Each structure stands twice: as C-alpha cells, then as structure tokens.
Structure 1
Amino acid sequence: MGPDKKQQYHLEPPKGLMNDPNGLVWFRDRYYVFFQWNRYKKDHSHKEWGMFWSKDLINWEFRGGAIQPGDTYDRSGVHSGSCLEIDGKLCAFYTGSRKDSQGKRNSTQCLAVSQDGLHFEKKGVVLSTPKGFTQHFRDPKVFRTKKNGYYMVLGGQKENGKGSVVLGSSEDGLQWRYSHILAEAKEHEMIECPDLFALDGQYILLYCLQRRNNEEDQVISAHSAYQLVSFDEDTGQLRSGDLEHGYETLESGFDFFAPQTFEAPDGRRILFAWMSRMEEEEQENSFGQGDPRIHCLTIPRELELRDGKLYQRPLRELYGLLGQEYEVKRTGENSCVVRPERRTWYLKLQAISHEAFSSELHLNLGETELHWDGRRLVFTRRNWVRDEQEIRSRILDRLEEIEIWSDVSSVEVFLNGGEAVFSARVFPMTEPAVVIDGMDERAKLTVRGMI
C-alpha cells in the first residue's frame, strides 16, 4: 500500500479511471461536469460518461454513470463530447465507438437527451463519418450561433493520415450534416478535443495536436494548443486553416490534456481539463497502485483575453476555500520556510523582481521545484518511478506573481495572473513544506491552508 493520493478539492471518481472532461454545461440551476469513466478498472478498456453536479462550482456531488455503452453504434464505448440545452432539454453529443472482432473501429456521433439532467434517453446516430476520413473522427463540441443555428466542431483524421478540425452544421440542433474542413495539419496525424468559442468578441480555437503511429494505431505524443482565429458564423469558415503554425501552447506543465470550456450564466468562460496524462505506463501503474481510483480534473479556470494572449486564472469561487494563514519563518537573509499542516495549501508570492526572487522555490521538500533566472521559469518534478527530475520550462518577459494551489497529489502553478500555467500530479512522499531561496523583504509571501 502506498501513500493516500485522494484529492480534496479536485474532481475525481470514487473508483476506476477518469479521463477527458465532457459535457460541461449549466442546466436547470446546476453546473454539470461529465467525464470519460471506466468504473470497472483503472485502464481504458471501458468508456462511459460519469457525472458530477454542483450548485456553486465548489461543492460537487458524484452522480455515477450518466450514459453507458451497449447499443449497436456505441457498444465499444461512449466517448468524448459536449452538452447543450436545446428547447429546454439537455442534449449530450458524444462519439459512439463500435469495433469488430478484428478490432477495426467504426465511429459515429450520437445524441442522448435528458429532461431532468439525470436520466438520459439515447436517440442514436446523428452524424456518420464522412467520405475522405478514417474512423478517427470524434469529440463533437456543439455550440449555438447568433442566428440560432448550430455548429459542431470535431477532430478528424483524413485518409492521407493527417489530422484536421471539421465542421458540422444543423438548423435545429438535432438533424446534422457534415459541412467542411475548418483547418488542417501536415505533420500531426490526428487532432483531438477541438473547442471553438468567442471571448470578448474574439474567436478562439482550442485543440490537441497528436502524433500517431498510423500503422500500429498508437499514440506517440500529444499536447494542447490554442489559436486566435477569424471565424465567420454565416459561412462557417476560418480565415486561417493551419493548425501547426501561429498557435500557442495552452499549458506548460506535465499533466494537462483534453481541455473543454463552457459559458457560465454570468458570461464567464470556464475551462476544465484532464490533469493526469502521465507519459509512461509504468508511471501510471505505480501511481494508481493501492488506490481504488486514478486521475482527476484540473481546478476550474476562468479564461481572459489580454493583449492577444489567453490567460487562465483560478476560478474566483475557489478563494472561498482558503483558511488560516501560516507563519513565514526567515531562515537566512534571503530565504524562508513555511510548514503547512496538510498538503492542501495555497501560496501567493507578489512584488517579485529580479533582485527579490532570483533563485528557487521548493515545494513539499523537493517533490516539485520552481527555478527563475530572470528570463526562464523552470518547473521540475521528481519522477516517482525512476527517482530523477523531470523538467518543463517557459520563457517570460517578467515574473511578477506566483500563485500555487496544492492538493494531496497535485500542484497547479499560475504565473503573472495566468499568463503561464504548470500542472502536475505528484506522488506524496514528504511532509508539506515551502522553502524559498532568493527572496528579500520587498516580496510579499502568503501561504494559507484550506478549510
């Protein structure tokens, strides 16, 4: 038995494996977060939609399975998708997977409808894979246009083995047709989990670039990206259709994938992502050993557009979780230590300058570390399988603020109000502690526990 890794304020199921967030929506005075779930094992052999709901985005209730596989068109899995309220009903669009005895895949986009947000009735296939694409055709994200029509963005692989983002359209949200390719990749073999939305009048396209071995049908690598795009709602066209140039990396950390957004009733654009895309099977197996569950979602994040960049800030409601403030003890002229009572803590370091913070920040006795040299922020994590450092980094023009949210087995780091973010699952091996070297009296440090 290993250490307890159960999170305290991140969404995770009571058992089994969680991956992509699905169907983020506000419906009948509740927030909904659906997710890919294997309730039986901690692997990807079974896929259904699990469900959480909440009145306030803080207190979540796990409601079990919402949509299960079993029909002809989804007998091999109910895969990722999205939700939208249409005519007072909650409509869930998802990719149904069917495999034959040789493992050959057939993918269709399917619909399930709920009157109460809890019980779903399947309506079957609404869009089949069009000609010119392989059966890697999935992850429908549906949204309403200003003229009350509907669009569906999907990730697809063309028959030439390269990825694309595809558009479907509908007048009523129920009868769908394939429209056209929005954007393409020349190097990456697949595009997953696209999301297209307007923020402050600017359209933003989120997507995941995936390298695949098409012959072996295996994933090699993947990462999340975004572009500011010009999208014409009337024609459904993007001005630029290049997915591999002009994009920004959405997240700089280790464990972040399949982001999805929705619009809250007050107009905020809120994002969740899967915070557990561990790169090695051995690392994943070791992390889940001794626990009934594996993987979680990120904390919810509010998206803002500033000077042409997408910022991710922690959801404002999360600050209501903050409790007692811990004592900061000076251990030297430019160093200090804070010892929280538990692994669930919050840190904010402000008024940083090259002189005030120019060295290192060690979290939980070196499980993760931040190093700033005046130009590059380096984030390291101790690999719990090989006992060596893993490294991620981000070049910044300045470093003025660091905000850290620590849970039992994760760390999320927000720099400069969300300009850059690092997410990581961590294997709990030490007592909670924060050690800073290279901070003088001009910097303001606050560390607080969680209530």
Structure 2
Amino acid sequence: MNKLQKANDYIQQNKNNVNNRPIYHFSPEIGWMNDPNGFTFYQGKYHLFYQYNPYDIVWSDMHWGHAVTENFIDWEYLPVAMANDKAYDANGCFSGSAIEKDGKLYVMYTGHVDPNLGFDKVESEISERQCIAISEDGITFEKHKLNPVIGEKQLPEDYLICDFRDPKVMEVNGVYYCVLSVRNTQRRGEIIMFKSLDLVQWTFHSSIFQSSFEENKLLECPDLFSVDGKDVLLFSEMPCDPQFAKDVQNTTAYVIGEMDFEKGIFTPEHKGLLDYGQTFYAPQSTEGKDGERLLIGWMHRWNQENPPKEYGFNGMMSLPRKLNVINGQLVQQPFIDTQNYFSPSVIGENVHLGEEEILIEGKTTGFLEVVVPKTSGELIIKLNKAEEKSTNIKIDVEKNVLLLSSDYGDEGNNINLEELSTNNDEDLTLSIYIDLHSIELFINSGEKVVSFTAYDRDKGKDILLVGGESTVLRKVVYGSR
C-alpha cells in the first residue's frame, strides 16, 4: 500500500475517536496540523492545504492535508493531497503555496530530506529543495517528473540548502515569481526571489529582505502581495539558533513597501506585527473570489503543552482575516458572517459598571463586542470564568493599554499591548471571538489583533464584565453558538 492511501485509510478508520475539537475554528479531523499551505480560491471554493501528521498529535512525517469551504465555517475534508513518498521529499512535504495555470492547480512545496529526522540534527546531511505537483481537479495531485525544480544548482553559494523552504508563488505581468525563506552563510534569515516563465524552469532573481546579524532571526513562510496600491511582505520570525530562544519570540511581521519585480528590489516603508498574542504563526494569504486579500494563520503557542492525548488532535487555524492598508498600517478584519452565524444582539447600553456587573452565563463559544467611551475608567472582561479561574482582558482606556492574562494554559501567558487606538476622540471597540480553545480579539475593526489559545479540559463557562465607579460601557453585544 502506498503512503498516500495508508494515510487516508488511517483517517477513515480512526477519525471518530477524536473529541473536543473547536466549534468554528478549523482543525484537523485527526492528528497534528501546523502551517496553512496552498491557500487559494479554485473552481468556486476556497482550498486550504496544511502541514499534517494524521498518525499522532505531535509533529512528524509531514503530509499535506486538504479541506475546502465556501464560508470558512462549514468545511469539507478531502483526501490527503500529498505524502512524502519520493526520494526528494522522503522526510516531509514541507510548506508551500498554490497557483492556477491553464485551468490546473499547481502547488509548489519544499521537499525535506533529513536521514536523522527525530534524532540529532546534522546540517550537512539536510537538504530542502522546491518541488511542483499538478492537479486537474484540485484533489488528486501528480508530482512533476523534473522535481526538484529549485535546488543546489539554482541557489547561490551564499545560502544554506539545509534551511531553504516555504515557496510562495505569484504571477505578475506574465512572469511567475517565487519568494522563499533561506538561511545565509552568516546563519541569519533572508527572503529571496526566483522567477520563471513556466513554473518549472526557475532562476535566482534577487534577495528582497534581510534580517540583521544582531537580530538573531530566521524569517519563515514569506508572502508577498499587493493591496490598496501598496506591496506587503509577510514573514514569521523565529530564533536563528537555539541559544537565542529566550531573546527571540515566534511572531509574524508585515512590511509595507514597494516591490519592483523587474529589478527584484523591495523598498520597505513601515514594519508592524500581524498579531500581538503568542499564538499566530506561518499565515498565508490569497485573493478572494471578489478580489479581497484574505489571510489565515496557524494558532499555536510555542511553549504550550500539547492537548490531552485522548483529544486525538492538535492544531487550529485562525479565523480568516480580510486585509487592507489604511493610514500606512495593515488592518485585519474577521472574514466570516458574524451576524448570521452568531445572531448577536444588544444586551446592554450605557451601562455604569461601578453600579452593576454584566454576567453572561453558560457560554463557552460565541461573539462578544464591547464599545467603551474614551472617558471611561478601567474595564475587566473575564472569559471562561469559573469560581477561581478565568482569562482576563483588562483595559485602561485613559492610558490606552491592555493586559491579557489567563489562569489557563502554561505559565507566562501575559500579553501587554500599548497604544490600542490612534484616535483619542473615538470610542474603543473590542470584538472578541471565543471558541473552545481560543480567543481572537480585534481592536477597533482590526487596527490591532490579539490571539490566545489554551487546551485545558474544564474551562469555566461564564463571561463577566466588571469595572470601577467611572467605568461606562456604551454598548455590549453578545451572540452564541
């Protein structure tokens, strides 16, 4: 039996043993999931591929899982798209992207070879090369006979083949370009670009973005696109070597600038964070069916313990986010039908929290929106509240700061966020999406986003809003599932 059939048979035989999966955040049917791959709109549906190990709830033996949706709430799981069954991808079909060409769906991914996988890492024996697979129906893929299409011959000597991955492909004026993550010979991260006329024959074009030596960073999962007349480069930052793990967090950054594709030069203008939490990584974007730029990311906290093994799964995707560039910053708004899915309604207006509290009982998943005047005092929102435990969002409106802390998950969950709003005259709006294992907080229609995850088995089921004598809430809206 081949590896692809083996994986699909295992899923069908064991998926009914999985429990406690999220209600409306995408998760695998069974097993481990990480980076979103090949996120694209093709033949009338959104396709989401993902790094996948169906056999356990830990990372290993990377396949490409596959699902489709029309609304990002209702998902159809499709057969595993690719298994690591060739010599050039023997130890993993690593992350990549998708693009339509001549009606067919092409995916470009990293073939990972490491004979010591799971044991001591020997960089001289590791190779990462870029490969192509093609599908006529978006479901069944055939790996190209010329794979790998980008390897040692195309990669300049200044870069290391052991860390050379995550191709994101795009087409500009009839030419295909691909941005890739790579480690240079100084052991720091760069994003480089290749170009092609047919998606098979590739040549090195340029280095478009580099981390400084002092930053001690690798740059993973690059993405490059245009929105609202600007070019945006995304990448996920991680420590370049284990000794820097305490100094460099795993975060995802964006850089707004201008890309000259012909010259291969990216000119940065502004850098920011996509998410201020500790659980958003390796996002990938695509053009939506109506021309929107949509983004979805992997929700994972790096210092977090795995879910209980009996859950049978590990990994979630964020809600899809619609991207826009407004006033020189990247703004993200949730791209789901909040009104129809949650049916939110106003449960309070002009509430003086110094005189009363707002308690919403027995709600583990739902949508909460709170509008706070800029003249208000401190506000504490307690989510998943039990008698002694909760996840707390504390806002000091006058100081324009937020602190998220939680009694769930591992230690070190505190998230401090300053400059919540750039406009001191407008109300502060907090839109919170609560699922079984996650919270996504959008501030002022996505000016800033904070995500949080915790897999604790018995979290509380209440929501409580409390404040001081001067705390006034303009409006409180809630909708449940």
User: TM-score, normalised to structure 1's length?
Assistant: 0.90
Selected match of 2:409 from 384, 390, 402: 384
Structure 1 419/335 Cα, relative in aligned 2: closer, same or farther at 3 Å? farther
Q: Structure 2 counterpart of 1:40, which letter? A: Y
| 1:116 matched residue in structure 2 | 137
SS of equivalent residue, structure 1 residue 359: strand
| 2:359 matched residue in structure 1 | 338
Cα deviation per residue 1:126-182 (whole Å; 9 max; x = unaligned)? Answer: 11141221120100000110x111110011100111110000101122321222211
Give the fraction of aligned pairs with identical amino acids, expressed as a percent.
Answer: 27
Structure 1 63/75 Cα, relative in aligned 2: closer, same or farther at 3 Å? same
| 2:283 matched residue in structure 1 | 259
SS of equivalent residue, structure 2 residue 340: helix
| 2:465 matched residue in structure 1 | 435
Aligned residue-pair number: 437
Instruction: Tell me, in whole angstroms, the C-alpha distance in 2 between the residues paired with 1:218 and 1:125.
Output: 36
| 1:319 matched residue in structure 2 | 339
SS of equivalent residue, structure 2 residue 290: coil
Matches within 5 A, 1:292-441: 292-323=312-343, 325=345, 327=347, 333-350=354-371, 352-365=372-385, 366-373=389-396, 374=398, 375-386=400-411, 390-396=414-420, 397=422, 398=424, 400-426=428-454, 427=456, 428-438=458-468
SS of equivalent residue, structure 1 residue 230: strand
Do residues 107 (structure 1) and 128 (structure 2) align?
yes
Instruction: Tell me, in whole angstroms, the C-alpha distance in 1 between the residues paired with 2:133 and 2:305.
Output: 32
Matches within 5 A, 1:44-443: 44-101=59-116, 103=122, 104-123=125-144, 124-129=147-152, 130=155, 131-134=157-160, 135-145=162-172, 147-186=173-212, 187-213=215-241, 221-240=249-268, 246-276=270-300, 278-280=301-303, 283-285=304-306, 287-323=307-343, 325=345, 327=347, 333-350=354-371, 352-365=372-385, 366-373=389-396, 374=398, 375-386=400-411, 390-396=414-420, 397=422, 398=424, 400-426=428-454, 427=456, 428-438=458-468, 443=474
**Is the contact between residue 198 and residue 204 of structure 1 (CA under 8 Å) also seen in structure 2?**
yes
Cα deviation per residue 1:220-266 (whole Å; 9 max; x = unaligned)? Answer: 642110111111122221124xxxx9521111012100011000120
Instruction: Tell me, in whole angstroms, the C-alpha distance in 1 between the residues paired with 2:167 and 2:408.
Output: 35
Q: Structure 2 counterpart of 1:151, which letter? A: Y
Q: Which has the higher strand share?
A: 1
**Is the contact between residue 272 and residue 300 of structure 1 (CA under 8 Å) also seen in structure 2?**
yes
Instruction: Tell me, in whole angstroms, the C-alpha distance in 2 between the residues paired with 1:169 and 1:389.
Output: 42
1:362 shift after superposition: 1.4
Instruction: Tell me, in whole angstroms, the C-alpha distance in 1 between the residues paired with 2:245 and 2:464.
Output: 44
| 2:475 matched residue in structure 1 | 444
1:440 shift after superposition: 5.1
Cα deviation per residue 1:393-419 (whole Å; 9 max; x = unaligned)? Answer: 232245610000001111100001100
Instruction: Tell me, in whole angstroms, the C-alpha distance in 2 between the residues paired with 1:237 and 1:78.
Output: 30
**Is the contact between residue 209 and residue 224 of structure 1 (CA under 8 Å) also seen in structure 2?**
yes
Instruction: Tell me, in whole angstroms, the C-alpha distance in 1 between the residues paired with 2:267 and 2:376.
Output: 45
Structure 1 441/251 Cα, relative in aligned 2: closer, same or farther at 3 Å? closer
**Is the contact between residue 395 and residue 403 of structure 2 (CA under 8 Å) also seen in structure 1?**
yes
Instruction: Tell me, in whole angstroms, the C-alpha distance in 1 between the residues paired with 2:448 and 2:355.
Output: 25
Q: Which has the higher helix share?
A: 2
Structure 1 90/63 Cα, relative in aligned 2: closer, same or farther at 3 Å? same
**Is the contact between residue 335 and residue 435 of structure 1 (CA under 8 Å) also seen in structure 2?**
no
Cα deviation per residue 1:183-240 (whole Å; 9 max; x = unaligned)? Answer: 1112234110111100011001111122132789999642110111111122221124
Cα deviation per residue 1:294-329 (whole Å; 9 max; x = unaligned)? Answer: 110001111111100111101143432113648559
Structure 1 6/316 Cα, relative in aligned 2: closer, same or farther at 3 Å? closer
Query: What residue ranges of structure 2 are gaps of 5+ in the alignment?
Result: 1-17
Query: RMSD between aligned alpha carbons?
Result: 2.5
